[in-house]
Chains A and B, each alone.
Chain A
Amino acid sequence: EAGVTQFPSHSVIEKGQTVTLRCDPISGHDNLYWYRRVMGKEIKFLLHFVKESKQDESGMPNNRFLAERTGGTYSTLKVQPAELEDSGVYFCASSLKKGLTGELFFGEGSRLTVL
């Protein structure tokens, strides 16, 4: 069974440009999460989807970030326009269900470098 896959693995863009990160969760996982790790800092929660609905987006830094999950399958995270402080590693995770058995499975992350 395929794990959580993220694309691209690394993206280098200039300030002001747009980048779209994609996450394919494990098939059948209703819960999908985005996290971010800025250089030298801890991994921080961005948002949580249950199927196609945003359950919690309290960690989204500002309105330059837009996350979608069309049809409750894959998700995209768009940053527009990108700023220098957006550089970091963006992790996606999925879980079958919430609750005590809802283990999160993480992807390898998408590294974003904004110049």
Chain B
Amino acid sequence: AQSVTQPDIHITVSEGASLELRCNYSYGATPYLFWYVQSPGQGLQLLLKYFSGDTLVQGIKGFEAEFKRSQSSFNLRKPSVHWSDAAEYFCAVDSPGSGNTGKLIFGQGTTLQVKP
């Protein structure tokens, strides 16, 4: 069965430090990949997505992610974290079938804490 794994449930980084959140997927074909963020009291917001083409994708709020087919990974990165980045981050893939159906498979989420 298709699945998404976010190995880190909780991560703490200092403000200004770099960040990498890991995401691995199990999927037979090339998936559609997404990163969402949920800040306290808000809904999930799309940070970035990968469908095809350049494997390094840029998103909002200074985030980027790199698709690595050989590693089945889609890790999220940011060079310098801001206190406002403290939130929960979700990696997701579109389920098999017709592609980008909106029927997403999510990882368990990674909670990011930012130290001053």
Contact = CB atoms under 8 A, between A and B. Distances in A.
Nearest to B44: A106
A103 B103 CA distance: 11
Nearest to B92: A43
B30 to A, nearest CB: 13
A102 B51 CA distance: 12
Contact of B42 (A93, A98, A108): A108
A32 to B, nearest CB: 9
A104 B101 contact: no
B43 A44 contact: no
Interface in A20-65: 31, 33, 35, 41-45, 48, 56, 59
Interface in A60-101: 91, 93, 95, 98-100
A47 to B, nearest CB: 9
Interface of B: 4, 36, 41-46, 49, 51, 90, 92, 95, 100-109
Given A42-B109, A106-B43, A107-B43, 14 more contacts: A31-B102, A35-B104, A42-B107, A43-B109, A44-B106, A45-B95, A48-B102, A56-B103, A59-B103, A98-B101, A103-B46, A103-B49, A106-B45, A109-B43
15 contacts: A31-B102, A42-B4, A43-B92, A43-B104, A43-B109, A45-B105, A48-B101, A59-B103, A91-B43, A93-B102, A104-B46, A104-B104, A106-B44, A108-B41, A109-B43
